[in-house]
Structure 1
Amino acid sequence: MARFVLVPGGWHGGWAFDAVSKVLSSEGHEVQALTLSGMADEISTRVNLDRHIDEAVRAIRRSDTRVVLVGHSYGGMVITGAADKEPSRIDAIVYADAYVPNDGASVWSLTTQSYRERFIAGVAADGLNCIPPAHLDRRCRPHPIATFLQAIKLTGNWRSVPCKAFVAAFGWEGSPFVELYERLRLDPEWVTHRLDCAHDIPRLAPEALAEILLKSV
């Protein structure tokens, strides 16, 4: 049995992985899909990237069993930071159309101008929480803008995780991840996959993502 810790993207909670979790659980694996601070019904004014990383680290430390750590979109920032702190507890780290930062990077620095404009418009109401784009699921919640702006602090220890995989979604325009996929597929330390769906891989291609995750254990 493997243990999976799943980290959703911006504006989403652990519910975004429901279909993926169902497949993994049906195969007898332990699954924990995180809803990070500020992403439940409450709106928080004191949440940054460091706090989200610490929450993922606590999930990893909950058991002595090594984990497969999975992040979608913004979740790539969180899983990189958590893996940097606990690389010896992680068997694989999987990025599902997600940011893969180097030290000092942020979502703001890594994303496209169109997403920056979306962040600016979304945070206009209170300057703290970015409202979800209108096309997203009604369960989405305002996302603490500090998590998008804060620069990540990394030692590079996360690169020692034995299996590193990137899953790119090629079914949408304006992706900030296609260029990253093209670079990583030439790197022998990475395994890469491409899916013909839009950005929300966990909800649009849950079976395909689950199959990729099961191959990583």
Structure 2
Amino acid sequence: MATFVLVPGAWHGAWCFEPLARELRRHGHEAYPVTLTGVGGRKHLLTSSVNLDTHIDDVANLLVDEDITDAVLVGHSYGGMVMTGAADRMPERVEGLVYVDAFVPADGDSCWTLANAPVRDWYLRGVGALGYATAPLPFLDPRATPHPLASLLQSIRLRGGLDRVRRRYYVYAERWEPETPFRPTYERLLGDPAWQVRAVASTHNVMRDAPDELLKVALEAAGTD
């Protein structure tokens, strides 16, 4: 049995991972979909001080509070930044990593530096309403909420702990239109023997559009496929 910690992308709460969590539990695993500070069901905590470090703390604290030592971290999009920071901080608690069409940062990277121009435009959409949060995009699920802008701009600081995680997977969505920011990551990891890379016929919302393929990768990352 493995323990999955599921980290959503920008504007999303734990709800986006609930279907996957149910399937993982049905296969006998533990699953913790995370709602990050200031977003989703925790939107009442949104302030100008919420940043990437805050969200890394969310996941790291969960690992400690639940005494998780066999975690498979699954992160979608922005969630890749968060799970990277948590795994780097606590590699002894992490068995596997599954990046779902997500950022895979190196030390000093941020979502802003890794994104392409269209995605940067998304980040700046609606910032004027609060000054410190980016508004959800109009085509997202109605449950999407404003996301703290600082978390998308802050550079991540890594200490090399990620190298100690044994199993690393990348799920690449082939149907992002018009221009995915994740193609460079996908192409780089394809040639890295430390990674297992899967391309799926899906839009960026892999949880919704390719649930069976995502479940299969998650179970493989847990060593129970």
Do the structures match in fold with TM over 0.5?
yes
Give the Cα separation in 2 of the matches to 1:94 and 1:49.
19
Q: How does 1:9-158 map to 2 (within 5 A)?
A: 9-39=9-39, 40=41, 41-42=43-44, 44-45=46-47, 46-61=49-64, 62-158=66-162
In the TM superposition, residue 116 of structure 1 has moved relative to its aligned partner by 1.1
The one-letter code matched in structure 1 to 2:44 is: E
Root mean square deviation of aligned Cα? 1.1
Native 8 Å contact 2:119 2:181 kept in 1: no
**TM-score (structure 2 length as normaliser):** 0.94
Native 8 Å contact 1:67 1:89 kept in 2: yes
Deviates more, 1:114-123 or 1:98-107: 114-123
In the TM superposition, residue 187 of structure 1 has moved relative to its aligned partner by 0.3
- Residues 92-129 of structure 1 deviation map (CA, whole Å, 9 limit, x = unaligned): 01100000001111000000111111222221212111
Q: Does 1:213 align with 2:218?
A: yes
**TM-score (structure 1 length as normaliser):** 0.97
In the TM superposition, residue 50 of structure 1 has moved relative to its aligned partner by 0.1
- Residues 189-215 of structure 1 deviation map (CA, whole Å, 9 limit, x = unaligned): 111001001001112212211111001
Q: Percent identical across equivalent pairs?
A: 44
Q: Show structure 1 runs of 4+ deviating over 3 A.
A: none
3-state SS of 1:124 partner = helix
The one-letter code matched in structure 1 to 2:33 is: A
Counterpart in the other structure of 1:177: 182
Give the Cα separation in 2 of the matches to 1:57 and 1:121.
30
3-state SS of 1:101 partner = coil
Unaligned runs of 5+ in 1: none
Unaligned runs of 5+ in 2: none
The one-letter code matched in structure 2 to 1:31 is: A
Counterpart in the other structure of 1:4: 4
Kindly tell me the number of residue pairs found equivalent between the two proteins.
217
In the TM superposition, residue 81 of structure 1 has moved relative to its aligned partner by 0.2
Give the Cα separation in 1 of the matches to 2:112 and 2:197.
24
- Residues 126-181 of structure 1 deviation map (CA, whole Å, 9 limit, x = unaligned): 21111100000000000000000011111121122001110000012211112211
Counterpart in the other structure of 1:193: 198
In the TM superposition, residue 43 of structure 1 has moved relative to its aligned partner by 5.3
Native 8 Å contact 2:69 2:92 kept in 1: no
3-state SS of 1:93 partner = strand
Give the Cα separation in 2 of the matches to 1:199 and 1:37.
23
The one-letter code matched in structure 2 to 1:201 is: V
Native 8 Å contact 1:2 1:67 kept in 2: yes
